[in-house]
Amino acid sequence: MRLDIGLLFVLFFCFELIIVFANIQFENYSFLKRRIAKAKIVKCEVCSYVYFNSAITVYSKCPICQSIAKTT
Ligand SMILES: [Zn+2]
């Protein structure tokens, strides 16, 4: 009987872990989708290179001249 309860507990724990993991994956996916949707086109003021920047960061770095621009 004790073994059965232990097994049940382990199964429950595994199930919980799977749910939590799936939830994290889903959250990451939705977060990624939101990030892509909010991505902004930034034009560098130094070299006038146009690139995409995520809305999460306020500052964006130009991949060409490495200058930091503030996105509003
Ligand atoms: Zn630049």
Lowest-confidence pick of 38-47, 48-57, 62-71 = 48-57
Listed by start position, the domains of the chain span 1-37, 39-72
pLDDT of residue 72: 63
Distance CA 58, CA 26 (A): 25
pLDDT of residue 41: 85
Interval 11-47: pLDDT, tens: 888 889 998 888 888 887 777 777 666 778 888 999 9
Output the CA 51–ligand 1 centroid distance in Å.
9
Output the CA 12–ligand 1 centroid distance in Å.
54
Output the CA 69–ligand 1 centroid distance in Å.
9
Is the model's pLDDT at 58 over the cut of 90?
no
Identify the band that residue 48 occupies on the pLDDT scale cut at 50, 70 and 90.
very high
Which among 49, 68, 46 has a CA at the least distance from the CA of 59?
68
Output the CA 52–ligand 1 centroid distance in Å.
12
